[in-house]
Structure 1
Amino acid sequence: MKALQGIDGQLEWAERTVAKCGKEEVRIQVAAAGRKRADLLQRAGHYPPPSGVTDILGLECAGVISEVGAGASFQVGDRVCALLAGGGIAEDVVVDSRHVLPVQGLSLTEAAVIPEVYATAWLNLFHLGVLQPGEKVLLHAGASGVGSAAIQLCKAFGNPCWVSVGSANRLAYCESLGAQGGVLRDESLEALRDFGPFNLILDPVGAKYVALNTQLLATDGRWVMIGLMGGRKAEVDLGMLLAKRIQLIGSTLRSRGADDKADLLADMRQRIWPLFANQKLSPRLERSFPVRDVDVAFAALASNRICGKVALIVDDRLE
């Protein structure tokens, strides 16, 4: 099969060995794969896959099941999407069947951009962040794929949320999804005080926002850090953390164990999957590109001008 590799900063659509389909696994013939910043980092050599995971790029995909291992609860021909630790940008991928969700009422290209971002948002807001109805949320990088999912989940489950974003267009986009408001990061971050204090902050930025976050959080607030776009080292006012009883939670989804991911996906299937059918949740697919235009797709993602998600179409015949 052919698959996308990131080697020394270059992308290559090259022949790779076909993996065997084992017990409780399924093989998916890939129609499309979602793009994430993690792919940019891995291509540049800054985000290697966990031990034992393929170095093929791609953390989410959708397609049609072409092979089913013993004990897997799917059938050949099922339309599905999958959460992956790697390998999604390929002609086919083998995955634990517990990390697969059925696709109904959406195109496969739309479904391809759902698993990773919604799993990330659901894990960090409601599992780790223990978000309760009515609690206030701040989402940094609110127009990103994870941010787009998080805004919609907050709206669906009764949590008012605000965002920090990079432009007025992005702020308008976030408000159209259900955000109460927000600020532009290059102009008025301090204005977030007018909307706080917040019970939970979802933060992909890191060091640059440490002081700001500790000031904006309410007593017993949760600060869930999911990225380091703004650096990894900063001074922390531990006295403020103690005084406010702030919980600082570091979180990554990719390196979690198979059982943890299976439990997360099972909860998503029960609690949020029906919300796509009644259109309370949306994939927020902004642009899609054929896999031959992968460099253009990665450039679009790196531009920070995309609201929502980017997909790569691997096989349009499957749609």
Structure 2
Amino acid sequence: MTQLPATMTAIAIHGKGGPEALVAEERPVPMPGPGQVLIKVAAAGVNRPDVMQRKGLYPAPKGHCDLPGLEAAGTVAAVGEGAARFQVGDRVLALLNGGGYAAFALAEEPATLPIPESVSMIEAAAIPETFFTVWHNVFERGALKAGEWFLIHGGTSGIGVTAIQLAKARGAKVIATAGSAAKCEACIKLGAERAIDYTSEDFVEVVKAETEGRGVDVILDMVGGDYVDRNIRSLAEDGRLVNIGYQAGSKVTVDMMRVMLKRLTLTGSTLRIRPTSVKGAIARAVEAHALPLVADGKARIVIDSTFPLAEAARAHERMETSQHIGKIVLTVA
């Protein structure tokens, strides 16, 4: 086994607040426990939950690493007892319990996958959080099928660009919302049948027109707030609304009579608190059904920008402008 350094550079959260709360510091290199692998990080994805954690709104669950970073790609540096799939030197991507903003990160082996040969480290780091989230929520919880209508809010977010492509590749008809003409154009290029500029159009009316009054079968929403009732009005009979975030608030008032009359399903999920067994099951599904689409060029990883690890604050500033199209990724030298 290659000799590991005793310490590493990591980006920690000092206090809570703006991007300036992200501070580089030296930490001991963690050692993998049973069922874990240690990844020498080449790149780490930046996600909205990282921003929420920095602000003190999404603390790491008990037992999880306090460092931000829920996904990373790199090479296996060490293997814990009972972890048998990977060997030192293997190229891997992983959904993490935190700790991606560092030179080394621990990953549970069931939530770790091999990187397809055609995929770079930067692209690989942009896969876990979005692909795991989209697969589980759109295709497992939302049960989206070929031929059905699918509405994704935030079509140019990391989640959005993934959802558009996976839904399209599996035969669904996609409508996406976005906040500018340029972003709407990007959604169309990724495979959306129609893109709605929410700054000038009412998505409820557009959905009604596009589906000839029928409505959509599945909606993936991370906005919440007043979108919830509008989503319910946009769903077809037997439609499914899946919430993965509440940027506009989680406490809402809805007319449950609409839910009953249209036989709707309202559901949602969050990944971070789920046990390793659940994350592992999602990982296996992603490996079987989604990663082949990337390897075959039927879905691509959309990278908005990259920043060196030491400039994590700038990466968060970019995310908070909401001007990005695709994923923001940190690179580790």
- TM-score calculated relative to the size of structure 2: 0.92
1:240 correspondence with 2:258: yes
Contact 2:152 2:221 (8 Å CA) reproduced: yes
Deviation at 1:70, TM superposition (A): 2.8
What are the residue-to-residue correspondences of 1:163-312 with 2, within 5 Å?
Answer: 163-189=176-202, 190-196=205-211, 197-312=215-330
| AA partner of residue 132 (structure 1) | K
Match of 1:149 in 2: 162
Name which of 33, 36, 41 aligns with 2:52. 41
CA distance in 2 between counterparts of 1:48 and 1:230 reads 19
Contact 1:226 1:251 (8 Å CA) reproduced: yes
CA distance in 1 between counterparts of 2:288 and 2:207 reads 34
Match of 1:61 in 2: 72
Contact 2:224 2:246 (8 Å CA) reproduced: yes
Match of 1:313 in 2: 331
1:14 correspondence with 2:38: no
Deviation at 1:283, TM superposition (A): 1.3
| AA partner of residue 185 (structure 1) | Y
In structure 2, runs of 5+ residues without a counterpart are 1-7
SS class of match (1:2): strand
Match of 1:161 in 2: 174
In structure 1, runs of 5+ residues without a counterpart are none
Match of 1:95 in 2: 107
SS class of match (2:28): coil
Deviation at 1:248, TM superposition (A): 0.5
CA distance in 2 between counterparts of 1:295 and 1:224 reads 31
Q: CA RMSD in A?
A: 1.1
Deviation at 1:292, TM superposition (A): 2.0
CA distance in 1 between counterparts of 2:218 and 2:119 reads 31
CA distance in 2 between counterparts of 1:22 and 1:234 reads 42
SS class of match (1:93): strand
SS class of match (1:272): helix
| CA-to-aligned-CA distance 1:64-102 (integer Å, 9 cap, x gap) | 111112332101001111111211111101111111111
Deviation at 1:270, TM superposition (A): 1.2
Match of 1:3 in 2: 10
1:79 correspondence with 2:97: no
CA distance in 2 between counterparts of 1:43 and 1:308 reads 21
SS class of match (1:207): coil
Contact 1:182 1:192 (8 Å CA) reproduced: no
Identity across the alignment (%): 40
Deviation at 1:250, TM superposition (A): 2.0
1:128 correspondence with 2:146: no
Contact 2:224 2:243 (8 Å CA) reproduced: yes
| AA partner of residue 146 (structure 2) | P
Match of 1:106 in 2: 119
Match of 1:25 in 2: 36
SS class of match (2:93): strand
Contact 1:24 1:70 (8 Å CA) reproduced: yes
| CA-to-aligned-CA distance 1:124-172 (integer Å, 9 cap, x gap) | 0111111121111000111100010000101110001101110111110
Name which of 124, 129, 132 aligns with 1:116. 129
Contact 1:202 1:223 (8 Å CA) reproduced: yes
